[in-house]
Amino acid sequence: METSPILTWTLQNEIQTPDDVAQLLVPGEQAVASFKTFRDSATFTTKRLIVRDAQGITGKKVEVYSLPYSSISMWSSENAGRFDVSSEIELWTRAGHIKVKLAKGADVRRLDSLFAWAALHDH
């Protein structure tokens, strides 16, 4: 059954966790890995995926998505082929279907293992 995603995020290279992510964490939660997105960042924590999306011309308006790992019911990964330079990961969650596109240079296997760790680990 083909379903269109409710959200699409594009992750680029792995980066150092932005300082302001700390203010979004709850007690006992820690940042594990962060990735650059088109305008901001996505951070895997010990409890959830936090995607920050700067908006507007100045980027001062920021929308924050929080995806608890417990809501992920299934995922798939697709690496770039010989003629296709993009990779992607798709998530099926309680909220709906989310597509995570990976820019050239992003490591699909690193992200696949992070999603596996996130969804299969007791947090």
Q: What's the confidence (pLDDT) of residue 103?
A: 86
By CB neighbour count within 10 A (0-12 exposed, 13-18 middle, 19+ buried), where does 44 fall?
A: buried
The 10s digit of each residue's pLDDT in 69-117 is 999 999 998 887 655 567 889 999 998 999 999 888 788 888 889 989 9
Q: Are 87 and 108 in contact (CB under 8 A)?
A: yes
The 10s digit of each residue's pLDDT in 86-96 is 788 999 999 89
The 3-class SS string of the chain reads CCCCCCEEEEEEEEECCCHHHHHHCCCCCCEEEEEEECCCEEEEECCEEEEEEEECCCCCEEEEEEEEHHHEEEEEEECCCCCCCCEEEEEEECCCEEEEEECCCCCHHHHHHHHHHHHHCCC
Collect all residues with Cβ–Cβ distance below 8 Å to 1 and sequence separation of at least 6: none
Q: How far is CA 83 from the centre of its chain?
A: 25
Sequence spans of domains, the chain = 7-120
Q: What's the confidence (pLDDT) of residue 123?
A: 60
14-28, 31-45, 64-78, 93-107: least confidently modelled range: 93-107
Q: Is the dihedral of CA 1, 71, 113, 17 positive or negative?
A: positive
What CATH code is assigned to 7-120? 2.30.29.50
Asked if pLDDT for residue 23 goes beyond 80, the answer is yes
